[in-house]
Structure 1
Amino acid sequence: MDHEKVNILLVDDQPAKLLAYEVILKDLGENLVIASSGREALEVLLKTEIAVILVDVCMPELDGFELAAMIREHPRFQKTAMIFISAIQVSDIDRLRGYEMGAVDYVPVPVVPEVLRAKIKVFAELYRKTRELERWNQELEDRVRARTAELENSTAKLRESEQRRSMAIAAGKMGSWDWDWINGDWMWDEGQYRIFGVSPENFNVNPANVQALLHPDDVDELRKAIAEFNKGSRAYETEFRIVRPDGDVRWCVGTAAATIDGSGRVVRVSGVTVDITERKRAEERQNLLAREVDHRAKNALALAQSIVRLTRADEVKAYVNAVEGRINALARVHTILSLSSWQGAELSKLIDEELAPYSLGGQIRLAGPEVQLVPATAQTLALALHELFTNSAKYGALSTRSGRLTIGWQVDNDALAVTWEESGGPLVRPPKSRGFGTRSLLASVESQLGGQALFDWRPEGLLCRLQVPLTRKNAASSAPDKFGAAASAELQRASG
């Protein structure tokens, strides 16, 4: 059998003996290394890995005992096998000294070749097996270290994965659970307790307690899920509501998967619960906004339709200007309301928007506190102010540079009082009949807002007083589509 050769060191000061040892040991097939003195042997040991040392006891300068003592002092050679060859009669005391110096055996002279080969072969094989065991042990240690490192890396990755899962569950408002279908045991993670608004210390997870937290209208979903799994379903998903102990209602989506044994029977159900309350609320807000936009659009179209249908003029150009002016007034108030997300509009902003097209400099004076108007009131007053500005610019104080206009308003007992006072313009005569603008102003203020519009056609200028309740229910919360339809009806009656 092929094997790795080992080094055998032969130490003797007589070349003839060394040659004889080489001849005897040649058949072992090992590497024979020659040293003719103790010092030369030490040099060889420092450079070469030696399995067995065959050394003559009687040598000049450094005998076998002294050489053995020096070899054993080095940590690397404390277990190296040494065989002494002695040409003199060796007493028991000499043998004991040799063993103390580290010898493992004695070979007397004359040397019996078969005996020497047998002894050298035994220690060479022992060295070879020892080295092989050391290599195997090193390989085993390397494998253990590699496996340990692999397990540690796998454990670290698993821990990181669990941390990421926990973070994802916390960030995504998720919880996971496990239900032993056979013995009824439940397991909830931290996210599941958080979603249901309970804690492990004060909540025992069981079907009865879980069902008690479900919204009464959604309890059937739990029964339906159990029935589906009993029929052999592998997965189930549904949306449901829970009512937390503090009364807070939360929307959730639950996904469950069943584990089946060899006979096809459900043995375990595991799942994930996701809190989708914010998504549901966003959907509700979006639906509400869509309905609101639809109502606003209907309202605007109804008003525009009424304006187009009921505006009167002797010429096409005058008709176009009148329609454009009224629709622009409606557009301006819509812009103001949009900026406030349709929460309302400041009266002063409505007046400023109507003033903008005229660039009248110091002809107009405004006086009044900040008043927030609800959308329906803002729309109606914007159109009323537009009619007053339009008439004043055509026929009243704003038609000349000498004219002056004072607009004042105040709030008293939840009612808004607006005073429109013109002066310095052309001589005013009471009209023989009311035009469309005046009739629509009266109709909208009185019918829509439940207010009152009073006109005093003084020679020095028009004096108009508008009384508008701020807390009237229909002014604050009337539906836009009803508002548009009612406005159209009133305008039709006013034009009759």
Structure 2
Amino acid sequence: MSEKVNILTVDDRPENLLALEAVLANPEYNLVGVTSGEDALKCLLNDDFAVILLDVQMPGLSGFETAKLIRTRQKYQNIPIIFITAISQTDENVLEGYASGAVDYIFKPFSPQVLQAKVDAFIRMHKCQNQLARQSETLKRQVQELDKLNEQLTLTTVELYRNEVLLEKVVQERTQQIASILESIKDAFFTLDNNFNFTYVNSTAENGLGRPRKEILGKNLAEIYDHSPNFVKKLIAAASHREQADFEAMCPRSERWYAVRAYPSEIGLSVYLNDITERKLIEKEMGRLERLNLIGEMAAGIAHEIRNPMTTVRGFLQYAKHSRTVLSPTHLDLMVAELDRANSIITEFLSLAKNKNADKKLHSLGSVVESLLPLIQAEAILSGKTVVTDIETVPEFEFDEKEIRQLILNLSMNGLEAMQAGECLKIRVYEETDAIVLAVEDEGSGIAPEIMDKLGTPFFTTKDSGTGLGLAVCYSIAVRHNAAIDIKTGNWGTIIYVRFKLNAADAVSIKQGRYDQEDCSR
């Protein structure tokens, strides 16, 4: 019987706790109900919880304050928090809830079925994470055991090779000992000679191949694994280079995944296959749940950003309807500006599409930067900052000029906004071995480590008035141009590198000088 999963419910009204207990009643769940934020923090010190259902309005610590305190501890960073409230239903309350670390914000009265479905999804994710952690530990122990076993096998082989006088007796004893060990492990194991013919097959490998040993021993690897040519090629490469090989492979016949580890030696190859099919399924389910969570976050972001200008326009129209007056040109201009803002948000969001067609033509990246320089310098002068460039002569290559102009402007404006008056933004263009590089360097305070992994996520922003789409659009443009974005940051500032991979046909000019890579490390 599986262990019960703990769910923490926090509400200052006992009747609400009873209602949640009735909705979430499940023999697999252990519901722990408390009536204050202080008691909730005490519970977290004693037990692990898969989900926290938290009321907003409570005496003492409010729900928002309780959530913020929970998120300050590294141990509780990944516990999903769902706010449930009947009062705090404004957009500001919802935003504060998400800022406090919530993954969802539910208004009362709510649908019991919806709440059950959401809690069930987080419970499945919690179980998958725990199972994956346990399997990782098990796999780690197995790898350690296999490493020890391989070391023992290697020493045994050397000993047999050097003691020819006692060869027959030692071979018999060692073979029985090793065979007993190999037959007891759950992983498939087999050995090959230098001609890639099978010399040993344990019972697990025999069952996996679906053939008796007498039909496998002495046969060639390519003959037995005729359904997996890539698997055969990798084992041959490991033996040829005399290097240990570690890779994952799927068996088409059984449709199961294996972690393969091959050890070459002077007399052949030892191969272990660990079945990781369950782990692959868990990883796939985790990826699906993460994508669903991202879709929800993006939908909430779009709704919030577009609802604000729509509210403004609707307010003016209602005013004109009820007062029976004609709106002034100023009011009409404001309404048009708000609609343009909503349209701009939608346009930026559509720029994220991977399948967007790019009008690529042969251009010079340096020329595009130089054409944008007056615009960037004008923006810098307004805030008391400076802009310098270092543009080397590099080969022309094919790109969509409009999209690259947008990418350069987005990165430059982000750099200017990150700096204080008197600081300098540097834009460089240079050539590496197989790439043209655009580097935008600012002298700001750098990017905090905890948000580095979130950069490029749609609607994630640290700005008071940003939409969180600028850097996401840059990543999307880079993908369409076969480019990679790398970021280096510290208290000295931030450098964003955009490396455009060159095709053989693109690299047609000789680079005039090369940027010294040591100047890049600060």
TM-score normalised by structure 2 residue count: 0.30
TM-score by structure 1 length?
Answer: 0.32
